[in-house]
Amino acid sequence: MELAWYALLGLFFATYLVLGGYDYGVGLLLARRGPAPGSRTTLTALGPFFLGNEVWLVAAVGILFGAFPRLEGELLAGLYPAVLAALTGVVLVTAGVQLRSRPAAATARARWDRLVVVGCVLAALGWGAVLAGLLQGVPLGADGHVVGAGHLATPFVAAAGLALLALVAVHGATFLTLRLPAAEAPALARLATGLVPAALVAVASATVLGLLSDRVRAAVARPAVAVLLPLALVAALLTARAALRRGRAGTAFAATATALALPAPLIGAALWPRILVSTTDPAASLTVAEAAASRPTLALLGWLALPLVPALLGFQAMCWWVFRGRIDGRAPVYW
Amino acid sequence: MDPLLLARLQFATTTSIHFLFVAVTLGLVTLLVGLQTAGYLTGKPAYERLTRFWGQLYVINYVLGIATGIVMEFQFGLNWSGLSRYVGNVFGAPLAIETLVAFFLESTFLGMWIFGWHRLRRGVHLALLWGVAVTAYASAFWIMVANAWLQNPVGYEVRDGVAHLTDFGALLTNPTFGMAFGHVISASLVTGGLLMAAVSAWHLLRRTTDYALFRTSLRLGLVTAALAVTTLQGFGFAQFGPVGQLQPTKFGGGPDRDALVADWTARFGPGDWEPPVLSDVGLGFMILIGFTLGAVWLLLPLLWRDWIIRLKAPLWLILLGLPLPFVAMLLGWIAREVGRQPWAAYGLLPTAQAVSPVSPGLMLTSLIGFSLLLGALAVTNWMLLARHAARGAHDPALGRPPAPDTDAHHQPVFV
Ligand code: HEM
C-alpha cells in the first residue's frame, strides 16, 4: 500500500518536473533579446497548458500531506531554504505569466517578463536543490526533526540546482521547437542544441561533486541506480541533440521530457527503503513505510484515487488533444 | 523573536490575502455560470459580452487565488510540521482530497475555458465553466471540512501520541462544518454580487457606453447579494449553537468554559487556555457589517423602472458598500481562527507544539519575504482589476476572436 502511494507521489512530482519544466524553460527564454519570436508568441505556445501544468505540483504536495504526513513536515521544514526558493519561483511564474499581458504598456509587460525569468530561475534552482538535499541526507535527530539549514550549503546542492536549470532550459527550447510555427523551428532547434553542451557540463559537474561527497555516498542505498541517473540524463541529452539536428522535434521533446521525468523516480529508488536519510544518526533515518499515513487513511484515499486518477489524466489528455499541434495565426492569444 | 509568533503572523497574512481573492472567485464563477448558460440557451450576444467582461475580471482575480493557495499549502509543511506529524493522518486526508478532486481539475478546466473560445463547441465550452464552478465549490467544501476538524477534532483515536483516522464520516457530519460552509459560500456570493453591482454602478454613474449591459449586471449582482445576505445571516446565527457547545472558550464565558479550562489544566498543565479578546472584537464587527449589508434589500424595490439608476444616490451607496464584505470576511476568519487559540486542533494539539523547529531567522525571512511578495502582487492585481473594470466591455482580451498578437517589437511570423 505504501509503495503504491509512493509510486503515485513519484508520478505526480515527475510529471510536474516534465510539464512545469517546459513552462520554466520557456519562461527562461523570455530573457533573450532580439527578433522573433516575441514574448507574447512564446507564451502563447504555453497557452492552455500552463494552468494544467502547475497543478501537478499542488497535487503532489497534496498526496505528500495526505499519504506521507510525517515526510511532508520534515521534508519541507528540513529543506526550508530550498523549498522557499522554489516556492517563490513558482509564485512569480504563476502570477507573471498570467498577468504580463494585462497591462497594455510595453514597459510594464517587459517588467513582468523579467519577473517571470527570475521566477523560472528560482524554481529550477530550488527544485534541483531539494532533490540534491534528499540525495545527500539531512541532519535528522533522534526526535525526528531536522536541525538547522546549513546542511544545504554544499557544492553538490549548488551544482544540482544549476543542472536542473540547464535541463529545463533545453527542455523549454525543445518544446518551443515543437510548438511554434514551422518557420521558427530551425532557429529554435539551433538554440536548443546550443544549450545541450551547457546542460552536459552541468550534469557532469553535479555527478562528480556527488561522487566526491561522503554524505551522498553514505545516503545512497543503491549506488547502481544513482549512477544510472546521470548516465540516463547524458543519453537523453545526446538523443535530443541528434534529433534536433535532424529536425525531429517530437523525438527530441520525448528525450528531454524523459530527462526531466527521471530524477524523481531514480532518486526515490536509489534511497529506498529510506527517504530522509539522517547524516547524524543513521537510526533516525525515515523510511517510506514510517513516513506513510496509517492504514485507514491510505485505504480511504486509495478508494478515492482509484476512479479519480484516471479522470484527472483523462481531462489533462483532453487538453493536450484539443490544443495539439503547432500554433498558428489562429491560436487564441491570452497570456 | 519567537518562531511561533512569526509562524502565526505568516499564516494570518497569507490566509487573509488568500481569502480576499478566493471569495471573489467563488462568487463570480457562480454568476458567470448563470451568464454563460443564459447565453447558451437564448443565443443572445449580450450574454456573451457579459460573460467575456466578467470572465476577464474573474480570470485576473483567480491568479492571486492560486498564488496564495500554493503558498498556503506549502506553509503547512514549512512552518507547521507538528500539524502533519501529530494529526496529519486525519487532517491531511481532506486536504489531499481537495487538491486532487478540486484544485487539479479546476485549473485544468479553466485553462481550457480561457483558450477554448471560438475553438470548442459552445456546449463543451459551457460545460468547462460548469466544471470550474463545481470544482471551486468542492474546493471550498474540503477546505472547510479540514478547518472544521481543527475547530472540533472528530473521528480519530490517539495511539502513541499520534492521531489516527477511525471514522471519516464524522469529519463530514462535524457540527462545526455544515453551517460554516453555508456561511462562507453565502459570504462569497454576497461579495461577488456586490462587486458586480458596484462595478456596474460605477459605469452607470459615469454614463459610459453599454448602458444596457451594465444595467443587467447591476440587477443580477444586487439580487444575488440580497438573497445571499439573508442566507449569510441565517447560517451565521446558526453557527452560535455548535460553537457555543463545542468550543465554550471561544466567545464569552459560562460554567462550560470554566469546566473545560479546568480539564485542560489538569491534562496539559497550567497555562493561558483562553483565546485573545481579538476574537470577540472580530465577531462583533462582522455582525455589525452583516446587518448593514442587509440593507441591500431596501434597494431592490428601486429596480422598478430603474429608479435605482435614475436616483443615482443608491449607486453611490453600492460603491461605498463594496469594501464591507471584504472587511467582514477578514473579521469572520479572525473570530473563528483566533477564537480557536491556543490550539492548533482544539483540545488536542496546542499551537506551540504544532510549529516547526525552524530557526527564527529563517522564519522571519519567509514571513517578510512572502508578505511583501504576496502583498505587492495583491495590490498590483487589484490595480489591474480596477483598470480592466473601468475599461468596460467593448473588447476584453478574453474570448477575443483570433488576431495577430499585440507586442510592439513583434516580428510578423504568421505571414
Ligand atoms: C448577521 C450577520 C452575521 C452573523 C450572525 C455571523 C456569525 C458568524 C459566526 C457565529 C461565525 C463563527 C465563528 C466560529 O466558528 O468561530 C462566523 C464566521 C465567519 N463569518 Fe460571519 N456572521 C455574520 C456576517 C458575516 C458577513 C457579512 C461576512 C462576510 C461577508 C461574514 C463572514 C464570515 C467568515 C468568512 C467567517 C469564518 C468562517 C466561518 O466560520 O464560517 N460573516 N460568522
**CATH code assigned at A134:** 1.20.1630
The Cα of A97 is separated from the nearest Cα of chain B by a number of Å equal to 10
Residue in chain B lying closest to A183 (CA): B413
Cell of A33: 533579446
CA–CA distance, B225 with B188 (Å, rounded to integer)? 9
CA dihedral (B162, B89, B82, B271) positive or negative: negative
The three-class DSSP label of residue A287 is: strand
CA–CA distance, A62 with B74 (Å, rounded to integer)? 9
Question: Where in the sequence is the domain holding A252, given as residue range(s)?
Answer: 11-298
* pLDDT tens track for A178-192: 999 888 899 899 999
- Residues of chain B above pLDDT 90, percent: 72
Read off the amino acid at residue A255: A
CA–CA distance, B327 with A61 (Å, rounded to integer)? 31
At residue B400, the pLDDT reads: 86
CB contact under 8 A, A62 and B100: yes
Cell of A177: 521547437
Residue in chain B lying closest to A92 (CA): B67
Collect all residues of chain A within an 8 Å Cβ-Cβ radius of residue B400: 333
Mean pLDDT, chain B, rounded, equals 91
CA–CA distance, B329 with A51 (Å, rounded to integer)? 28
**Contact by Cβ (8 Å): A180, A26:** no
Length of chain A, in residues: 335
CB contact under 8 A, B105 and A80: no
Q: How confident is the model at residue B408 (pLDDT cuts 50, 70, 90)?
A: very low
* pLDDT tens track for A154-175: 999 999 999 999 999 999 999 9
- Residues of chain B above pLDDT 70, percent: 97
Cell of B388: 480592466
In a domain, A193, yes or no: yes
The minimal CB distance from A72 to the residues B84, B166, B373 is found for B84
Question: Is pLDDT above 90 for B269?
Answer: no
Top pLDDT among B51 and B254 is at: B51
- Measured CA to CA in angstroms, residue A87 lies from A125, A306, B112, B221 at distances of 11, 29, 25, 36
Domain boundaries, chain B: 3-391
Select the highest-mean-pLDDT range: A37-46, A59-68, B185-194, B345-354.
Answer: B185-194
Collect all residues of chain B within an 8 Å Cβ-Cβ radius of residue A94: 63, 66-67, 70
Residues 6+ apart with CB under 8 A from B309: B204, B215, B218, B315
The DSSP annotation for A156-209 comes to: HHHHHHHHHHHHHHHHHHHHHHHHS-GGGHHHHHHHHHHHHHHHHHHHHHHHHH
3-class DSSP string for B253-288:
CCHHHHHHHHHHHHHHCCCCCCCCCHHHHHHHHHHH
Read off the amino acid at residue B181: F
CA–CA distance, B380 with B378 (Å, rounded to integer)? 5
Nearest to B221 by CA among B206, B204, B235, B209: B204
At residue A82, the pLDDT reads: 95
* pLDDT tens track for A44-80: 889 899 999 999 999 999 999 999 988 988 898 889 9
Q: List the single best residue of B74, B114, B388 to mutate versus A (max A Cβ within 10 A).
A: B74
Residue in chain A lying closest to B121 (CA): A322
At residue B415, the pLDDT reads: 27
User: Cα of B371 to ligand 1 centre, how many Å?
Assistant: 25
At residue B253, the pLDDT reads: 72
B345 pairs with which residues across the strands?
B349
In degrees, rounded to 5, the angle at the alpha carbon of residue A197 between the alpha carbons of residues A192 and A203 is: 110
Question: Is pLDDT above 60 for B405?
Answer: no
Cβ–Cβ contacts within 10 Å for residue B64, how many? 28
Residues 6+ apart with CB under 8 A from A13: A56, A57, A60, A264
Q: How confident is the model at residue B410 (pLDDT cuts 50, 70, 90)?
A: very low
Over residues A253-257, mean pLDDT: 96
Nearest to A56 by CA among A282, A284, A261, A306: A261
* pLDDT tens track for A80-137: 999 999 999 999 999 999 998 898 888 888 899 999 999 999 999 999 999 999 999 9
The minimal CB distance from A308 to the residues B100, B357, B404 is found for B100
Residues 6+ apart with CB under 8 A from A299: A1
Residue B118 forms contact with A (CB below 8 Å): yes
Residue B392 forms contact with A (CB below 8 Å): no
**Contact by Cβ (8 Å): A30, A113:** yes
Pocket of ligand 1 (CB under 6 A): B 180, 183-184, 187, 190-191, 232-233, 236-237, 239-240, 243, 250, 286-287, 289-291, 293, 325, 328-329, 332-333, 335-336, 339
Burial category of B297 from C-beta neighbours within 10 Å (exposed 0-12, middle 13-18, buried 19 and up): middle
**Contact by Cβ (8 Å): A275, A135:** no
CA–CA distance, B402 with A328 (Å, rounded to integer)? 10
Over residues B79-105, mean pLDDT: 91
Cell of B173: 457530519
Over residues B91-95, mean pLDDT: 93
In a domain, A334, yes or no: no
In a domain, A322, yes or no: no
Nearest to B86 by CA among B351, B349, B356: B349
The DSSP annotation for A238-275 comes to: HHHHHHHHTT-HHHHHHHHHHHHHSHHHHHHHHHTTEE
Question: Is pLDDT above 60 for B413?
Answer: no
CB contact under 8 A, B73 and A65: yes
Residues 6+ apart with CB under 8 A from B5: none
Collect all residues of chain A within an 8 Å Cβ-Cβ radius of residue B77: 61, 64-65, 72-73, 75-77, 83
The minimal CB distance from B118 to the residues A56, A87, A332 is found for A332
Question: Is pLDDT above 80 for A330?
Answer: no
Length of chain B, in residues: 415
User: Cα of B328 to ligand 1 centre, how many Å?
Assistant: 8
Nearest to A85 by CA among A117, A55, A128, A115: A128
At residue A35, the pLDDT reads: 53
At residue A44, the pLDDT reads: 86
Over residues B35-53, mean pLDDT: 95
Residues 6+ apart with CB under 8 A from B217: B50, B54, B196, B197, B199, B200
Cell of B104: 487539479
CA–CA distance, B220 with B30 (Å, rounded to integer)? 11
CA–CA distance, B233 with B227 (Å, rounded to integer)? 10
Residues 6+ apart with CB under 8 A from A119: A24, A27, A88, A89, A90, A91, A92, A93, A96
Q: How confident is the model at residue B321 (pLDDT cuts 50, 70, 90)?
A: very high
Question: Is pLDDT above 60 for B411?
Answer: no
Question: Is pLDDT above 90 for A237?
Answer: yes
Top pLDDT among A270 and B409 is at: A270
Residues 6+ apart with CB under 8 A from B64: A95, B17, B21, B374, B377, B378, B381
Over residues B285-307, mean pLDDT: 92
In a domain, A329, yes or no: no
At residue B404, the pLDDT reads: 56
CA–CA distance, B351 with B385 (Å, rounded to integer)? 37
The count of structural domains within chain A is 1
**Contact by Cβ (8 Å): A218, A137:** yes
At residue A104, the pLDDT reads: 84
Residue with cell 510594464: A108
- Measured CA to CA in angstroms, residue A16 lies from A74, A181, A193, B175, B332 at distances of 21, 26, 23, 37, 36
